[in-house]
Structure 1
Amino acid sequence: MFASNTFKFVALIFVLSIVFLAGCLSDDDNQVSSYNSELETLTQLKNDIETIAESSVCNETSTCKIIAFGSKPCGGPWSYLVYSTSINIQDFETKVEQYNQLESIFNAKWGVVSDCAVILQPKDVTCQNNVCVPVY
């Protein structure tokens, strides 16, 4: 009788250990899944924004604009985008702001690091062959 109870106790401890370990592994899997999902969302939004900027056309320099794009972990943008007012600028600038905020949150949440080099903002922008071009 004693051996039977000992066996049940050991079996119970074994099962609980497996459940506990599975829970730990599941958390790691969930974190990886969450990281990948968030990164995919950021990548898709980044691609959408770049596509919109590239689709803009200009007829004169006065229709060209510059916007800071991305959020480096050390601060500041990753780059600057040039675009023209031929697109819906309110929607575009809102998407860029949203992306910058989401990337900043992502960087803080996941401990992302980068170089702390300062990206030079273009001095101006000009319209060449119906495309806005940065001037450094």
Structure 2
Amino acid sequence: MKYLIAGATLALLAGCNGPSEEPLQSQPTAAAEDPQAQMAGLDQQIRSMIGMAYADNLEQCRLAEVGHRPCGGPQYYIAYSTTTVDEAVLQKLIAEHRQLQINYQQRHDVVGTCEVIPRPQLTMQGGRCIASPTAER
């Protein structure tokens, strides 16, 4: 009889530790925990948002500094059009991406080549904003 009661108690306790009732969506994903995956996702969002950067004239073109190099300055420059992009949303994504990179670089002691990437010149080609390399190198 002792063994029957002990077995029933164990079965009851095991049932109490059953599956969680929280939905799977509320658990963090691997990408949310991986800063490199987060940075890659934000970079893709930025590039997708900018798209082909169509504009009617050069005044609608802007240059964004994206990312952060370990020695300072942006990771890269990209041209975008004010006619096709919500600048406030774009700048928020760029700032979030930059901060993630800075935090990652500091946390992991990332070093770089410390070269300076020249700021490109904005031009238009085929109705699109383009970041053209400058002659300075």
Identity %: 24
Shift of 1:55: 3.8
Per the normalisation by structure 2, the TM-score is 0.68
1:49 is matched with: 46
Equivalent position to 1:70, from 67, 70, 74: 67
Checking the alignment, whether the CA contact within 8 Å between 2:35 and 2:100 is kept in structure 1 is no
The alignment status of 1:129 with 2:122, answered yes or no, reads no
Shift of 1:56: 2.8
Checking the alignment, whether the CA contact within 8 Å between 2:53 and 2:128 is kept in structure 1 is yes
Relative to total residues, which structure has the larger helix share, 1 or 2? Answer: 1
**In structure 1, C-alpha distance between the alignment counterparts of 2:110 and 2:46, rounded to whole Å:** 22
**In structure 2, C-alpha distance between the alignment counterparts of 1:55 and 1:106, rounded to whole Å:** 30
Show the 5 A alignment for 1:7-18. none
Checking the alignment, whether the CA contact within 8 Å between 1:59 and 1:127 is kept in structure 2 is no
Q: Which region of structure 1 is more displaced relative to structure 2, 51-60 or 101-110?
A: 51-60
Checking the alignment, whether the CA contact within 8 Å between 2:62 and 2:122 is kept in structure 1 is yes
Show the 5 A alignment for 1:96-111. 96-111=94-109
SS in 1 for 2:118: coil
Equivalent position to 2:92, from 80, 85, 94: 94
Aligned-residue Cα RMSD (Å) equals: 2.0
**In structure 2, C-alpha distance between the alignment counterparts of 1:54 and 1:117, rounded to whole Å:** 28
Per the normalisation by structure 1, the TM-score is 0.69
Gaps of 5+ in 1: 1-32
**In structure 2, C-alpha distance between the alignment counterparts of 1:113 and 1:50, rounded to whole Å:** 25
Number of residues of Structure 1 aligned to a counterpart in Structure 2: 103
1:115 is matched with: 113
Checking the alignment, whether the CA contact within 8 Å between 1:64 and 1:84 is kept in structure 2 is yes
Q: State the AA in 2 paired with 1:114.
A: G
CA spacing shift, 1:56–1:133, aligned 2, 3 Å: closer
**In structure 2, C-alpha distance between the alignment counterparts of 1:134 and 1:42, rounded to whole Å:** 22
Checking the alignment, whether the CA contact within 8 Å between 2:55 and 2:128 is kept in structure 1 is yes
Checking the alignment, whether the CA contact within 8 Å between 2:71 and 2:112 is kept in structure 1 is yes
2:23 is matched with: none
**In structure 2, C-alpha distance between the alignment counterparts of 1:93 and 1:38, rounded to whole Å:** 19
Gaps of 5+ in 2: 1-29
**In structure 2, C-alpha distance between the alignment counterparts of 1:130 and 1:97, rounded to whole Å:** 28
